[in-house]
Amino acid sequence: MDRVAVSASDVLGRAVASGLGIGFVPRAPGTAGALLGLLAGGILYTYGTVALAAGIVIASAAGMIAIPRTGMAGRDPGWIVIDEVAGQMIALLGLPWLTGSGVLLAFLLFRVFDIRKPWPISLADARHDALGIMADDWIAGAFAAIVLAALRLVWPGTGL
């Protein structure tokens, strides 16, 4: 059997792309990745929206660099969850402050948009390169944030 040489950067790429291994959970790795994004985003949000935005940029850049290192060119395997991490953090931008109901709704909206993939999310999802893998979740997160902002306008006293 031939051995395949694996570099340290390839191992690091897989670690980052999998959300430090979260993507290898046996069931619902995308949901697990979104929960990681919720945790990371929630922690960053306590330092303000600038910290959250910085976390989104860092997770996005890390994903764009790491995904090509996974050896999964042309595919979007379920264990790659750095895109869910970044997308879920984007969804939190729709909240003026963190409340239990707001965080839960941000999570649920993001997952619905990420799973259902309405246009233009489906357009981005059709690309199976690093940009497509990341972009469908960026858009799903943005859609969730927009819906949260709209709900705040319609029902201002709900704690969202």
pLDDT at 20: 96
pLDDT at 94: 86
pLDDT at 8: 85
pLDDT at 3: 55
Domain boundaries, the chain: 8-154
Neighbours of 154 (CB within 10 A): 8
Whether the model pTM is above 0.85: yes
pLDDT at 160: 67
- Using DSSP, state whether 112 is helix, strand or coil: helix
Mean pLDDT by 10 residues, the chain (160 residues): 67 94 97 98 95 98 95 83 98 89 95 97 93 97 96 81
Contacts of 106 (CB under 8 A, 6+ apart): 38, 88, 91, 92, 94, 95, 144, 145, 148
Contacts of 112 (CB under 8 A, 6+ apart): none
Closest CA to 90 of 47, 130, 126, 140: 140
Rounded CA separation 136/126 (Å): 9
- Give the residue carrying structure tokens 């940009």: 131
pLDDT at 1: 47
pLDDT at 123: 97
120 preceded by cis ω (within 30°)? yes
